[in-house]
C-alpha cells in the first residue's frame, strides 16, 4: 500500500486532542473531536509494516511502532470504533469525558503498537487512568466509588505486570515484547500473564468489569467496552498463544458470563457479563493455539468490538432516553424508540452468531478450529455459551426493554436522542451487516496463514446456526415467566475482592493507628516542649549572633559601595584624570613588581 | 424519516401470528436437518438428526431454570448491599 | 571574485546602510513630494531587514578566508561575533522602534548611525591587524557619539554625549600612542606576525608598554576599570533604548579584539597580569558601587563594569576553552542585558529614567515583563538554569589552575556580592506594592519581546552546547 517507512502513530491525534482540549475556548471545539479518529483511520490504512519509532531511553530501547499483521488488525478496528464512539459522544459537553476518552484511546493504540514491555506498561497505565475517569464522570456517589474501586484494582493489576516485567528484565536482560512459549513457566511470566488477565477479565479476576461498566457514563462505557479487554486480548495473543491454562480459563469465562447474564436486571450489566463471555471465546482460541483458533480470536475481537460497541450504544440510548437501564423498569418502548430497537437487534443477532451478521463468520471459526484441534470440551463449552448469549442478549434484553409483555408505554417521558448517537450506531450496524455478507473484508486482515481457508457460508453451517438459535429461542419462550428480571444485586467474586481489601486495610491501619497513638502522646508531652525550647534558643542565636554578623557585614559592604560610588563625581576632567593616573599606576606596579 | 414505531406497535397485536410463523420456521429447520448433515462432525454426536435442536433447547431450558430458580435465590441481595448507592 | 561572497553579512548590512542613508538624506525631499507618503517608515522596514542580516550571518558561520592582504580575516571567531552583533542589533532595533523620546524627523538619522556603529563592530570582528582594528573601532565609536545626545528635551543627554566623546577621545589618544610604540618595537601590526614576538617587559619593554596602552582603548570600550567612569553617566543620560545599544554591542567589539590578542598573551606575561589585576578591581569596584545605586540604568551601568571584569577572567587563562568561555559569556551578557533593558524601556513607557521604586508592583501590572526581568536578573547573577550560570561555569572551569586561581576566587566572591543589587530589582518588581502612577507598556509587543529574550536566556542556559562548542573550535583555531 505505502512505502514501508511511512508511519504515523494513531495515538498522536488523540494525545494532542486530550492535551489541547482543556485550553480551548468557545463551543467550536466539538468539531475537533472527529479529527483524531479520522487521522487514526488514515494512519492505519497507510502505515507500512515493520518497526518504527525506536527510541533510546536510559539505556533501554523503546519501540513505539511495531506494525505487523497482529497489531494492524487490532489497530484497524480500534480506529473504526474510535470514529463511531466519538460520533456517538459528540453531544456531550463535559470536556473531561472527551479528554479522558482521548487519552484512553491513545493508550489503546499505544499498547497495540508497543514493541517492548516498557512502552506497553506506559500505555497500559494511561488506559487505566483514562477509563477510571470515564467511570467517574457520571459524578454520582455510586460512580465515584465504582471508579475508585476500578482504579485500585487496575493499579494492582498493573503492579503485577510491572513486577513481572522487571523480574523478566533481570532474568533475560531485555524488555522486548515477544511470544512467551508455554514451556517457559517462570514466575515472572506468570506475573505478566496475571497482569494481562486482569485486563482481559479472566475469571476469577473479572469482577471489576460488571462492577464498573454499568456505572460509567452513557458514552464512556461505549469506549470502555472496546479497548481495555481487546488490548488485553491482543497482548495475550502476542505473548501467550498456546498456553493451555488460557484455553481452560477461556471456556470457563465464556460459560460463566452467560450464566450471570441470564439472571441480571441491569441491561448494561448483562452486556458487561457478556464481555466476559465473549472475551472467553477469544482467550480460549488463544489458549488452543492453532492457526485457525488464533485467527478466529482475532476475527472475533474485530467483530466483537463492532457489535459490542453497538450493544452498549443501544443500551446507552435507553439509559439516556428513559433514565434507567434496569429491565424491570423498562418495557413497552418499541413503538417509541424503533430505530434504537432495530439497531440494537442488528448487534444482538451479530453477537448470537446469526447468519448475515458478522458474529456468524467469527464465532464459528473459533469453534471449528477448537473442534479440529480435538479440543472437544472447549468447543462444547463455547457452544453452550452461544446458547446462553442468544437467550440473554439476543432475546431477554431487547424483549424486556422494548416489550416485556407490557402495553406500549405512551406516557413515559423520553429524552429525545440526538442525531449523532443514531449516526454512530448506524456506522457500526452497517459494518456488522457488511462483514456478515462479505466475510472476506475481515478475513483479508487475519494474522496467520491457515492450511485451508475457512469458509463460513456453507449450508450446514447456516443450518446449524439457525437450529441452535431457533431452539434456544424456543427455550426462552417456554420459560419466559421464569427468566423475568427482578431488582437485586447478584453477588459475584467482587465480594471476595472487597473482603480482601478490607482485611488488608485492617491489617495495615490498625497496628499503624496504635503506633500513631503512642507516638502522638510522646510527641505531645516530651516532643513539643523540647522543640519549643530549642526553637527559642535558636531564635536568640539567630537574632543576636548570626543576624548581627550578616547585617553588619552587609551594612559595611554597602557603606564601602556608597563611598566608592562617590568617586563617580560627574566631573569629566576628574574622570579622565583618574582614568589615566590609575591606569598608569596599575601598569607600573605590574611591570616593575610583577 | 421513516418511522417504524407505529408499525411495531401494530405488530404487537398480531403477535400470535408471529409465533405461528416462528414455530413453522423451526419445523422447517428440522425438516432440513433430515437431509443436511455435517461432513466433519465436531464430536461425533452432532451429525445425528436433531442434535443441535435438542442441544439448543435443552441447554437453554437447563440454564434458565438452574440459574434463575436455584442459583439466583442463593446469591441475590438487595441493591444496596455493599452500601455504594 | 568569489571572495566577495565571504563578505555577505557585512555586505548585506552595508546595503541596508545605503537604504538608511538614502531615507535619511532625502527625508525632507520625500516629505514634500506627493508620492513620498508611500515610502515606508524606518521603524517599519528596518526590523525585518535586520532579521535578514541575522539569517545571512547565520549562514555565514562556516565562511573562512583572508582578504585585503591579510588584514581582514574571516574565520570562526569573526563569524561568531558577527552573528552575535547581528542578533543584538536585531533586538536593539526592535526595542528602539518604539521610542517615546525620539522625534519622528530624527528617526532615520538615529537608525542610520546606530547601523553604522553596528557595522563598524562587524568590521572590527574580522580585523586582523592593529590599524584596521583602530579604524573600525573609530567608525563604531564616532557613530555612537552622535547617537547618545538624541533624546528629546534632555540636557542630560547632551551632557552624557559630551562626556562620552571627550573621554573617548582621551582614551583613543592613549591607544594611538600605544600603537606607535608597538610599531616602533615590533615593526609589524599584523596579529599573525605578532604572535611569535617577545612581549615581556624584561625582554621588550617598549612593546609591553605599547600594548598595555593600546589595550586602554579597548578597555574604554569595554568599560573596564579604570576606564569605566563614563559608563554610568552615559547610560543614565541617554535614552533607554540608546542605552540598550551602548550597554551591549560595543562590548562585543572590544571582546573580539581582546580574544584575538589573547591568543599570544600567555599566562605569566606582565600584560596578562595587568588584565587579571584590572579584571579583579573592575569586578569588585563595579559591584560595590552598584550596591548604592537607585537609578536602574546607573545600576546596570555599574554592573556592566563588573561584567567586563568577568569576561576578562576567561581571557587570562590562555587556553582555547578560556577564549571560548569569554566569547560565550559576552554573547550571554548581550542577551541578559538586552533583556533587562527591554523591560526597562517598556516599563518607562514615557521614556523617563527609571528609579528602583518605579519597578514596584510590576508583577501585577505587567506579569510577563516582571517575569522576564526576574529571568534577566537571575541570569546576570548567574543562577542556573540561565545562560549566565552556564557562562560563569565555563569561565571558572577554564580559568582554574592556569596560574590565576586568586582571580577565580575573587570572581566567585563577586558573584555572591552582586546578588544583592540584582535581586533588589526582582524584589521591587515582586514584593513591593505601592506602584507609581505611570503605567508600563503592557502590549503584546512588549510581552512578546520580553518572553522571547527570556526564552533565549533560558534555552541557551539549558542547552549551551551548540554555541559553546562552536566557540571552542573558534578559539582553538586561533592558537
Residue C215: closest CA among A587, A110, A133, A31: A587
Per-10-residue mean pLDDT of chain A, 594 residues long, equals 68 88 78 90 87 78 87 93 94 90 94 92 93 91 91 92 92 87 87 93 92 93 94 94 91 94 92 95 92 91 94 94 90 87 92 90 88 86 92 92 83 89 94 89 86 83 89 90 88 89 87 88 83 88 85 84 80 86 87 76
pLDDT of residue A310: 95
Chain A residues with CB under 8 Å of B84 CB are: 141-142, 145-146
Residues 6 or more apart from C174 whose CB is under 8 A from it? A580, A583, C213, C216, C217
| Chain-chain contact of A471 with B72 (C-beta, under 8 angstroms) | no
**For B2, which residue in chain A has the nearest alpha carbon?**
A339
Q: In whole angstroms, give the CA distance from residue C384 to residue C367.
A: 21
Residues A386 and A401 in one domain: yes
Q: How far does A319 lie from chain B, in Å, by closest CA? A: 17
Candidate from B19, B25, B82 with C-beta closest to A470 = B25
Q: Is the dihedral of CA A445, A450, A455, A456 positive or negative?
A: negative
Residues A39 and A74 in one domain: yes
Q: Is the CB of residue A473 less than 8 Å away from at least one CB of chain B? A: yes
Question: What secondary structure letter does DSSP report for C62?
Answer: G
Residues 6 or more apart from A491 whose CB is under 8 A from it? B75, B76, B77, B81
In chain C, residues 208-267 whose CB comes closer than 8 Å to chain A: 208-209, 212, 216, 219, 225-227, 229-230, 232-233
**CB-based burial label for A27 (10 Å; 0-12, 13-18, 19+):** exposed
pLDDT of residue B1: 62
Strand, helix or coil at A410? coil
> Do the domain assignments include residue A407?
yes
> Do the domain assignments include residue A594?
no
- The H or E element spanning position A66 is strand A60-67
| Chain-chain contact of A262 with B36 (C-beta, under 8 angstroms) | no
**DSSP readout, C334-392?**
HHHHHHHHHHHHHHSTT-PPPBGGGGTTHHHH-HHHHHHHHHHHHHHHT-TTSHHHHHH
The alpha-helical segments, DSSP class H, found in A173-217 are 187-200, 208-212
Distance of CA A288 to the CA centre of its chain: 26
Residues A19 and A90 in one domain: yes
The grid coordinates listed for C368 are: 510577563
| Peptide linkage before A204 cis (omega within 30 of 0) | yes
The grid coordinates listed for C26 are: 532625502
Length of chain C: 479
pLDDT of residue A2: 42
Residue with cell 517615546: C100
pLDDT of residue A594: 65
Residues A76 and A142 in one domain: yes
Evaluate whether chains C and B are touching (3 or more beta carbon pairs less than 8 Å apart).
Answer: no
Q: Say if residues C224 and C280 touch (Cβ distance below 8 Å).
A: no
pLDDT of residue A228: 93
Q: Is the CB of residue A475 less than 8 Å away from at least one CB of chain B? A: yes
Q: In whole angstroms, give the CA distance from residue A315 to residue A170.
A: 47
The grid coordinates listed for C22 are: 538614502
Tally the domains of chain A.
3
CA atoms within 13 A on the CB side of A401: 34
Q: Which subunits sit against A, judged by 3+ Cβ pairs under 8 A?
A: B, C
Question: Which residues of chain C, if any, have pLDDT below 50?
Answer: none
Q: Say if residues C97 and C124 touch (Cβ distance below 8 Å).
A: no
Q: Say if residues C10 and C82 touch (Cβ distance below 8 Å).
A: yes
How many helices (H) and strands (E) chain C has is answered by 20, 2
Q: In whole angstroms, give the CA distance from residue C361 to residue C339.
A: 19
Candidate from C226, C292, C420 with C-beta closest to A582 = C226
Residues 6 or more apart from C289 whose CB is under 8 A from it? A561, A564, A565, A567, A568, C232, C302, C305
The grid coordinates listed for A591 are: 611591570
- The radius of gyration computed from the CA coordinates of chain A, to the nearest angstrom, equals 32
Interface A-C: count of C-beta contacts within 8 A: 80
- The H or E element spanning position A234 is helix A218-239
Residues A68 and A205 in one domain: yes
CA atoms within 13 A on the CB side of A145: 9
| Residues of chain A in Cβ contact (below 8 Å) with chain C | 554, 557-558, 560-562, 564-565, 567-568, 570, 572, 575-576, 578-580, 582-583, 586-587, 589-591, 594
Candidate from A383, A388, A463 with C-beta closest to B29 = A463
Candidate from A334, A368, A482 with C-beta closest to B64 = A482
Residue with cell 559592604: A557
pLDDT of residue A1: 40
Candidate from B63, B71, B81 with C-beta closest to A388 = B63
Residue C302: closest CA among A585, A567, A557: A567
Q: Which of A428, A461, A492 is the last residue of a domain?
A: A492
Q: Which among A584, A590, A592 is the top mutation candidate for probing chain C, defined by the most C β-carbons within 10 Å of its own β-carbon?
A: A590
Residues A232 and A369 in one domain: no
Q: How far does A496 lie from chain B, in Å, by closest CA? A: 12
Question: What secondary structure letter does DSSP report for A332?
Answer: S
pLDDT of residue A5: 67
The grid coordinates listed for A304 are: 466483537
Q: Say if residues A134 and A221 touch (Cβ distance below 8 Å).
A: yes
The grid coordinates listed for A47 are: 502505515
> Do the domain assignments include residue A476?
yes
pLDDT of residue A66: 87
Q: Say if residues B42 and A292 touch (Cβ distance below 8 Å).
A: no
Q: Is the dihedral of CA A322, A323, A328, A329 positive or negative?
A: negative
Chain A residues with CB under 8 Å of B12 CB are: 334, 403, 408
Residue C422: closest CA among C246, C282, C304: C304
pLDDT of residue A20: 82
| Chain-chain contact of C273 with A554 (C-beta, under 8 angstroms) | no
The grid coordinates listed for B49 are: 438428526
Residues A355 and A485 in one domain: yes
A 10 A CB-CB count for B44 gives: 9
Cα distances (angstroms) measured from residue A121 to each of A68, A230, A485: 20, 16, 40
- In this prediction the ipTM stands at 0.91
Residues A246 and A234 in one domain: no
Strand, helix or coil at C402? coil
Q: pLDDT exceeding 70 applies to what percent of chain B? A: 96
**For A458, which residue in chain B has the nearest alpha carbon?**
B38
pLDDT of residue B44: 67
> Do the domain assignments include residue A592?
no
Q: Say if residues A285 and A297 touch (Cβ distance below 8 Å).
A: yes
> φ and ψ at C466, to 5 degrees?
-60, -50
Residue with cell 548590512: C13
> Do the domain assignments include residue A349?
yes
Q: Is the CB of residue A589 less than 8 Å away from at least one CB of chain B? A: no
Residues A235 and A247 in one domain: no
Q: In whole angstroms, give the CA distance from residue A221 to residue A239.
A: 27
pLDDT of residue C1: 53
Q: What range defines the domain where residue A78 resides?
A: 1-240
| Chain-chain contact of C209 with A554 (C-beta, under 8 angstroms) | no
In chain B, residues 23-62 whose CB comes closer than 8 Å to chain A: 25-26, 29-30, 32-33, 36-40, 42-43, 46, 52-61
Q: Say if residues A409 and A316 touch (Cβ distance below 8 Å).
A: no
The grid coordinates listed for A434 are: 457488511
CA atoms within 13 A on the CB side of A362: 34
Q: Which among B40, B60, B77 is the top mutation candidate for probing chain A, defined by the most A β-carbons within 10 Å of its own β-carbon?
A: B60
pLDDT of residue A4: 58
Residues A443 and A504 in one domain: no
> Do the domain assignments include residue A262?
yes
- Exposure b/e, C47-56, CB count within 10 A at least 16 = b: bebbebbbeb
> Do the domain assignments include residue A182?
yes
> pTM for this one?
0.60
Residues 6 or more apart from A81 whose CB is under 8 A from it? A226, A227, A305, A306, A309, A428
pLDDT of residue C279: 93
Q: In whole angstroms, give the CA distance from residue B69 to residue C334.
A: 87
Residues A299 and A328 in one domain: yes
pLDDT of residue C247: 92
| Chain-chain contact of B42 with A379 (C-beta, under 8 angstroms) | yes
Length of chain A: 594
Q: Is the CB of residue A155 less than 8 Å away from at least one CB of chain B? A: no
Cα distances (angstroms) measured from residue C152 to each of A17, A311, C114, C413: 53, 78, 17, 41
**DSSP readout, A492-541?**
-THHHHHHHHHHHHHHHHHHHHHHHHHHHHHIIIIIHHHHHHHHHHHHHH
Q: Say if residues C133 and C257 touch (Cβ distance below 8 Å).
A: yes
pLDDT digits (tens, 9 = 90+) for C292-316: 888 999 999 999 999 999 999 988 8
Q: Which among C229, C233, C274 is the top mutation candidate for probing chain A, defined by the most A β-carbons within 10 Å of its own β-carbon?
A: C229
**For C173, which residue in chain A has the nearest alpha carbon?**
A580
The grid coordinates listed for A37 are: 479518529
Amino acid at each position: 500500500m505505502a512505502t514501508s517507512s511511512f508511519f504515523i502513530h494513531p495515538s498522536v491525534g488523540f494525545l494532542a486532542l486530550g492535551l489541547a482540549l482543556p485550553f480551548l475556548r468557545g463551543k467550536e471545539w466539538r468539531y475537533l473531536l472527529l479529527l483524531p479518529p479520522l487521522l487514526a483511520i488514515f494512519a492505519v490504512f497507510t502505515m507500512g509494516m515493520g518497526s518504527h519509532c525506536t527510541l533510546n531511553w536510559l539505556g533501554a530501547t523503546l519501540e513505539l511502532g511495531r506494525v505487523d499483521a497482529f497489531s494492524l488488525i487490532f489497530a484497524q478496528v480500534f480506529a473504526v470504533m474510535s470514529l463511531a464512539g466519538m460520533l456517538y459522544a459528540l453531544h456531550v459537553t463535559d470536556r473531561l469525558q472527551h479528554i479522558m476518552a482521548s487519552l484512553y484511546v491513545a493508550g489503546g493504540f499505544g499498547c497495540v503498537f508497543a514493541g517492548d514491555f516498557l512502552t506497553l506498561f506506559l500505555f497500559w497505565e494511561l488506559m487505566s487512568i483514562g477509563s477510571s475517569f470515564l467511570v467517574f464522570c457520571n459524578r454520582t456517589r455510586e460512580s465515584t466509588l465504582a471508579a475508585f474501586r476500578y482504579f485500585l484494582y487496575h493499579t494492582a493489576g498493573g503492579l503485577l505486570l510491572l513486577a513481572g516485567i522487571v523480574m523478566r528484565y533481570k532474568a533475560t536482560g531485555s524488555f522486548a515484547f515477544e511470544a512467551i512459549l508455554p514451556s517457559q513457566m517462570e514466575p515472572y511470566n506468570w506475573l505478566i500473564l496475571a497482569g494481562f488477565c486482569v485486563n482481559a477479565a479472566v475469571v476469577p479476576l473479572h469482577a471489576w468489569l460488571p462492577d464498573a461498566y454499568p456505572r460509567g457514563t452513557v458514552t464512556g462505557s461505549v469506549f470502555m467496552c472496546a479497548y481495555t479487554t481487546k488490548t488485553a486480548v491482543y497482548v495475550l495473543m502476542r505473548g501467550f498463544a498456546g498456553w493451555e491454562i488460557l484455553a481452560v480459563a477461556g471456556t470457563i469465562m465464556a460459560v460463566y458470563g452467560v450464566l450471570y447474564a441470564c439472571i441480571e436486571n441491569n441491561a448494561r450489566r448483562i452486556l458487561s457479563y457478556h464481555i466476559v463471555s465473549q472475551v472467553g471465546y477469544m482467550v480460549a482460541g488463544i489458549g488452543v493455539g492453532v492457526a485457525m483458533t488464533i485467527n478466529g480470536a482475532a476475527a472475533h475481537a474485530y467483530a466483537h468490538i463492532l457489535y459490542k460497541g453497538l450493544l452498549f450504544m443501544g443500551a446507552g440510548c435507553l439509559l439516556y432516553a428513559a433514565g434507567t437501564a434496569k429491565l424491570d423498569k423498562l418495557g413497552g418502548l418499541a413503538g417509541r424508540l424503533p430505530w434504537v430497537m432495530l439497531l440494537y437487534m442488528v448487534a444482538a443477532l451479530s453477537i448470537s452468531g446469526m447468519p448475515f451478521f458478522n458474529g456468524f463468520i467469527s464465532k464459528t471459526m473459533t469453534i471449528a478450529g477448537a473442534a479440529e484441534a480435538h479440543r472437544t470440551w472447549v468447543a462444547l463449552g463455547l457452544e453452550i455459551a452461544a446458547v446462553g448469549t442468544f437467550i440473554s442478549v439476543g432475546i431477554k434484553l431487547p424483549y424486556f426493554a422494548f416489550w416485556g409483555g407490557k402495553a406500549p408505554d405512551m406516557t413515559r417521558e423520553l429524552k429525545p436522542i440526538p442525531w449523532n448517537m443514531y449516526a454512530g450506531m448506524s456506522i457500526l450496524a452497517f459494518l456488522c451487516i457488511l462483514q456478515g455478507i462479505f466475510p472476506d473484508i475481515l478475513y483479508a486482515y487475519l494474522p496467520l496463514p491457515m492450511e485451508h481457508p475457512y469458509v463460513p457460508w456453507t449450508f450446514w453451517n447456516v443450518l446449524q446456526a439457525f437450529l441452535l438459535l431457533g431452539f434456544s429461542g424456543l427455550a426462552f419462550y417456554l420459560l419466559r415467566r421464569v427468566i423475568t428480571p427482578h431488582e437485586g444485586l447478584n453477588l459475584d467474586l467482587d465480594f471476595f475482592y472487597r473482603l480482601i481489601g478490607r482485611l488488608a486495610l485492617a491489617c495495615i491501619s490498625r497496628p499503624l493507628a496504635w503506633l500513631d497513638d503512642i507516638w502522638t502522646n510522646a510527641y505531645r508531652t516530651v516532643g513539643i516542649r523540647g522543640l519549643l525550647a530549642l526553637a527559642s534558643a535558636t531564635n536568640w542565636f539567630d537574632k543576636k549572633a548570626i543576624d548581627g554578623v550578616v547585617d553588619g557585614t552587609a551594612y559595611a559592604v554597602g557603606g564601602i559601595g556608597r563611598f566608592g560610588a562617590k568617586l563617580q563625581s560627574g566631573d569629566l576632567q576628574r574622570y579622565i584624570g583618574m582614568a589615566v593616573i590609575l591606569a598608569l599606576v596599575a601598569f607600573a606596579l605590574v611591570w616593575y613588581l610583577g | 424519516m421513516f418511522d417504524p414505531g407505529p408499525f411495531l406497535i401494530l405488530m404487537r397485536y398480531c403477535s400470535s401470528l408471529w409465533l405461528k410463523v416462528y414455530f413453522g420456521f423451526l419445523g422447517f429447520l428440522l425438516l432440513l436437518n433430515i437431509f443436511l448433515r455435517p461432513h466433519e462432525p465436531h464430536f461425533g454426536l452432532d451429525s445425528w438428526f436433531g442434535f443441535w435442536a435438542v442441544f439448543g433447547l435443552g441447554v437453554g431450558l437447563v440454564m434458565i431454570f438452574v440459574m434463575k430458580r436455584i442459583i439466583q435465590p442463593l446469591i441475590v441481595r438487595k441493591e444496596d448491599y455493599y452500601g455504594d448507592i | 571574485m568569489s571572495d566577495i561572497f565571504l563578505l555577505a553579512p557585512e555586505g548585506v548590512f552595508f546595503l541596508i546602510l545605503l537604504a538608511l542613508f538614502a531615507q535619511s538624506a532625502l527625508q525632507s525631499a520625500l516629505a514634500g513630494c506627493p508620492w513620498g507618503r508611500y515610502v515606508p517608515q524606518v521603524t517599519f522596514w528596518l526590523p525585518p531587514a535586520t532579521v535578514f542580516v541575522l539569517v545571512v550571518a547565520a549562514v555565514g558561520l562556516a565562511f573562512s578566508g583572508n582578504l585585503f592582504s591579510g588584514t581582514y580575516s574571516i574565520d570562526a571567531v569573526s563569524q561568531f561575533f558577527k552573528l552575535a552583533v547581528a542578533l543584538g542589533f536585531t533586538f536593539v532595533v526592535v526595542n528602539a522602534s518604539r521610542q517615546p523620546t525620539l522625534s519622528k524627523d530624527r528617526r532615520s538619522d538615529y537608525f542610520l548611525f546606530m547601523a553604522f556603529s553596528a557595522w563598524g563592530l562587524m568590521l572590527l570582528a574580522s580585523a586582523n591587524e592593529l590599524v584596521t582594528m583602530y579604524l573600525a573601532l573609530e567608525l563604531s565609536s564616532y557613530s555612537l557619539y552622535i547617537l547618545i545626545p538624541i533624546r528629546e528635551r534632555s540636557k542630560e543627554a547632551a551632557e552624557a554625549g559630551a562626556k562620552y566623546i571627550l573621554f573617548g577621545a582621551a582614551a583613543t589618544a592613549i591607544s594611538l600612542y600605544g600603537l606607535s610604540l608597538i610599531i616602533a618595537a615590533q615593526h609589524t601590526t599584523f596579529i599573525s606576525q605578532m604572535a611569535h614576538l617577545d612581549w615581556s617587559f624584561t625582554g621588550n619593554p617598549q612593546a609591553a608598554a605599547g600594548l598595555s596602552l593600546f589595550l586602554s582603548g579597548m578597555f574604554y570600550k569595554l568599560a573596564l576599570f579604570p576606564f569605566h567612569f563614563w559608563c554610568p553617566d552615559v547610560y543614565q543620560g541617554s535614552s533607554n533604548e540608546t542605552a540598550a545599544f551602548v550597554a551591549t554591542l560595543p562590548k562585543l567589539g572590544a571582546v573580539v579584539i581582546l580574544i584575538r590578542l589573547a591568543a599570544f598573551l600567555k599566562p605569566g606575561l606582565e600584560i596578562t597580569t595587568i588584565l587579571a589585576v584590572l579584571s579583579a578591581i573592575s569586578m569588585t569596584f563595579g559591584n560595590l558601587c552598584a550596591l548604592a545605586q537607585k537609578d536602574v540604568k546607573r545600576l546596570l551601568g555599574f554592573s556592566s563594569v563588573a561584567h567586563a571584569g568577568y569576561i576578562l577572567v576567561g581571557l587570562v587563562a590562555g587556553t582555547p576553552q578560556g577564549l571560548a568561555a569569554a566569547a560565550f559569556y559576552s554573547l550571554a551578557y548581550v542577551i541578559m542585558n538586552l533583556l533587562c533593558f527591554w523591560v526597562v524601556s517598556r516599563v518607562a513607557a514615557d521614556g523617563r529614567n527609571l528609579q528602583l521604586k518605579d519597578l514596584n508592583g510590576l508583577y501585577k501590572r505587567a506579569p510577563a515583563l516582571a517575569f522576564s526581568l526576574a529571568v534577566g536578573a537571575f541570569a546576570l547573577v548567574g543562577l542556573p538554569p540561565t545562560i549566565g550560570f552556564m557562562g560563569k561555569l565555563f569561565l571558572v572551569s577554564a580559568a582554574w589552575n592556569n596560574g590565576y586561581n586568586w582571580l577565580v576566587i575573587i570572581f566567585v566572591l563577586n558573584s555572591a556580592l552582586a546578588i544583592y543589587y540584582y535581586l533588589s530589582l526582582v524584589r521591587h518588581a515582586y514584593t513591593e506594592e505601592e506602584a507609581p502612577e505611570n503605567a508600563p507598556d503592557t502590549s503584546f509587543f512588549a510581552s512578546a519581546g520580553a518572553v522571547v529574550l527570556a526564552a533565549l536566556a533560558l534555552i541557551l542556559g539549558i542547552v549551551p552546547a551548540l554555541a559553546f562548542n562552536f566557540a571552542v573550535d573558534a578559539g582553538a583555531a586561533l592558537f
